[in-house]
Amino acid sequence: MTLPLDGVLVVDFSQFLAGPYASLRLQDLGARVIKVENPSGGDLCRSLYLSDTMIDGDSTLFHAINRGKESIALDLKTSDGQLAARRLAAKANVVIQNFRPGVIERLGLGHKDVKALNPTVVYGSVSGYGSQGPWSNLPGQDLLAQARSGIMWLSGNADAGPVPVGLPLADLLTGATLAQGLLAGLYKQNSQNASTLVETSLLECLADAQFELLTTYLNNGRKMPQREAEGSAHGYLAAPYGVYDTFDGQLALAMMPLQELADVMQSTELLSYAQVPQAEFVHRLEIRKLISKQLKTRDAQAWEERLTAQGIWCARVLKWPELLESKAFQALNMISDVGSNANTSRILMRSPLRLDGVRSPVSRQGPKLDANKSAVISEFLQ
């Protein structure tokens, strides 16, 4: 099918996660992405990854984040490399970079430099902490950004924190945010024939992810949320919100009127709390203990079936094998095997978007370093 960004050229100087995730999202919408890499090893995430699982010599992370892209190796420290990079950028609809502040300008590929060559370019720039302030030159790394943002303190139980999110959350949020801005820039490019500089950072995106809680904190006399002793999930939400152990497995309960849960669970003790104004906040600990005690009488699947049938918002806590084996996930068709032949298997995730009912295909894995050099030179650099 013809995708919305068919014909859009993205030249991506970024590496590791945040920038490449943005270009991946654009590629899933139809854009062509040319990845410019360092000749000495290429993108750091080709090798800088803790798993020993590799695909054709590169990390699974590299293929996950760079599937379907093209690669050309240019030494940006040389005049020839910089010249080739500028010629590429001059023909791009979108340019992306995530060097530390000031570095890309010293290479002659900053926003002003590229805009002088390409007056309508959409220029995306990612940093760790913005271009101003005392943190601007610090490494933009996910775990460190989580630590500085306050988000790490929110996770985990009261006596266990702070706990980092078990995903590169800062990188993924920042890449998705950047992609949103780039799409707006492409609209402006098409409608106004004008350039847009799109900037964001790991810290800005992690702060934005906490907008609900931070808004509460800034308006409640700066009263900090309180994590639960166990099963903590959201420091400002009332009981029963959280995760509970059952006889076998765990069950997550979302927000709901306590009266409804008490009726379904046939608990007179819970019902008595339901009659007390604001009990879900004032007596949160006591209510959670009552719920926890009763949930331990059955396994998580039995509780999920019983409570769901009565309109209670709940879900079993699944591990990856259970998720992947579920008919619900399989119906989404989010996994693709792009093996080069019948004897190889290269299993990658597909785009989370469906356009006109169709999910864009995954045609190939991530590129070998400099794999598309001849084609890119022939098309853009002759």
Tens of pLDDT, residues 331-353: 999 888 887 665 666 888 888 88
CA–CA distance from 336 to each of 18, 56, 195, 322 (Å)? 23, 17, 36, 18
pLDDT level of residue 279 (50, 70, 90 thresholds): confident
CA atoms within 13 A on the CB side of 112: 3
Residue 63 CA to residue 3 CA, distance in Å, equals 22
pLDDT of 237 reads: 82
Which domains does the chain show, CATH number per domain?
Answer: 9-209+358-380 (3.40.50.10540)
pLDDT of 49 reads: 65
CA atoms within 13 A on the CB side of 89: 32
pLDDT of 318 reads: 94
Residue 68, amino acid: G
pLDDT of 50 reads: 60
Helix (H, G, I), strand (E, B) or coil at 212: helix
Overall average pLDDT of the 255-276 stretch: 91
Q: Read off φ and ψ for residue 41, nearest 5 degrees.
A: 100, -15
pLDDT of 347 reads: 85
Query: Quick count: other Cβ atoms within 10 Å of Cβ 5?
Result: 20
* 98 CB-contact burial (10 Å; exposed 0-12 / middle 13-18 / buried 19+): buried
Determine contact, residues 11/3, Cβ cutoff 8 Å. no
Determine contact, residues 3/360, Cβ cutoff 8 Å. yes
Query: What is the edge-to-edge ordering of all strands in the sheet holding 32-37?
Result: 70-73, 32-37, 9-12, 94-97, 122-127, 196-201
Determine contact, residues 362/350, Cβ cutoff 8 Å. yes
Residue 270 CA to residue 287 CA, distance in Å, equals 7
Strands 94-97 and 122-127, bridge-based pairing: parallel
Instruction: Find the helix packing angle between 211-219 and 202-209, rounded to 10°.
Output: 70
Q: pTM to 2 decimals?
A: 0.89
Residue 27 CA to residue 23 CA, distance in Å, equals 6
**Which residue, 349, 7, 19, 67, is CA-closest to 182?**
19
How is residue 253 written in tokens? 């309960």
What is the rounded average pLDDT for all residues in the chain?
A: 92
Query: Quick count: other Cβ atoms within 10 Å of Cβ 245?
Result: 15
Determine contact, residues 257/313, Cβ cutoff 8 Å. no
- Kindly write down the DSSP assignment for every residue of 283-294, as one continuous string: THHHHHHHHHHH
CA–CA distance from 214 to each of 32, 167, 223, 239 (Å)? 38, 21, 10, 20
Residue 370 CA to residue 137 CA, distance in Å, equals 30
Considering 63-67, 174-178, 277-281, the range whose residues carry the highest mean pLDDT is 174-178
Determine contact, residues 258/279, Cβ cutoff 8 Å. yes
Overall average pLDDT of the 158-168 stretch: 86
pLDDT of 234 reads: 82
Report pLDDT digits (tens) over 128-155.
999 889 999 998 999 999 999 999 888 8
Residue located via tokens 């069950």: 251
pLDDT of 326 reads: 93
Overall average pLDDT of the 47-67 stretch: 83
pLDDT of 218 reads: 94
Query: Considering the chain, what percentage of its residues have pLDDT values greater than 90?
Result: 71
Report pLDDT digits (tens) over 201-259.
999 999 999 999 999 999 999 998 887 877 787 877 888 999 999 999 999 999 988 99
Residue 380 CA to residue 371 CA, distance in Å, equals 15
pLDDT at residue 323 is higher than 90: yes
pLDDT at residue 175 is higher than 70: yes
Report pLDDT digits (tens) over 292-315.
999 999 999 999 999 999 999 999
Considering 40-44, 52-56, 109-113, 159-163, the range whose residues carry the highest mean pLDDT is 109-113
